[in-house]
Amino acid sequence: MKTRINEIFSSIQGEGRFIGRRQIFVRFSGCNLDCEYCDTPQSRDPSVGTLFSEDELNRSIKDLITPDFHSVSLTGGEPLLHADFIKSFLEKHYFNCLLETNGSLPQELKKIVELIRCASLDFKLPEHCSTSNWDGLFKRELKSLNLLIDVGINTYCKMVILPSTKVENITQIASMIRDEIPENSKLSMVIQPSDPLDDWISHKNELFRISENVGKYLDVLTIPQVHKILKIR
């Protein structure tokens, strides 16, 4: 089996709860969503990249492992478009993996959920995603989230916000997530201000208000993309 991969590289994780960890990033080609803030638009194209077999990917990862290696980030695009390949790969060549997903494909997630260790689920705000059926997308994201929680995967949510993001919108989404997950779940939500950060100079109060409101329902962290501050990939 082969699948198309946009790029493979080693760097320091600049987003979410694993920020600062040395990871090998496997960026799969193609995405089923079209978000206005996407910072890797080239990865949306399923025809861009190189075909890899499981063994070829294994060799590429091993060639990049350093003493500070923490895990492999399965990212994209949307990696769950390649769930059959990922399942075959991890059954043959197991690595500690972080799945970075938009959560829109719960049936594909089921194929690999027991083969991953950690997951970052990126909830989309309706005003930032081009889908015509946001309610359906949100329900699928919740289904994926609960699947990860039920299996015991170390999971956090992420939401990218723009200076135009309405506090009440993100608060409502946090409330709905809280209502739909097990009562004893201690779920973290990472609020990620969009780049460039200079755009936030006149919107600092909104960051505090968003954090305060989301914090009523979920454990909340506000973390920008640190790799862009460091000017690394």
Phi and psi for 14 in degrees, rounded to 5?
-110, 5
CB contact at 8 A, 92 and 112: no
Greater model confidence, 186 or 34: 186
- CA gap 107, 140 in Å, rounded: 9
Question: What is the pTM (predicted TM-score) of this model?
Answer: 0.93
Per residue in 126-162, pLDDT tens? 877 767 788 999 999 999 999 999 999 999 999 999 9
For 200-224, the pLDDT digits (tens) are 989 889 999 999 999 999 999 999 9
Q: Using an 8 Å Cβ cutoff, are 2 and 53 in contact?
A: yes
Q: Phi and psi (nearest 5°) for 192?
A: -115, 105
- Does the structural domain 2-230 have CATH classification 3.20.20.70? yes
Instruction: Spell out the domain ranges in the chain.
Output: 2-230
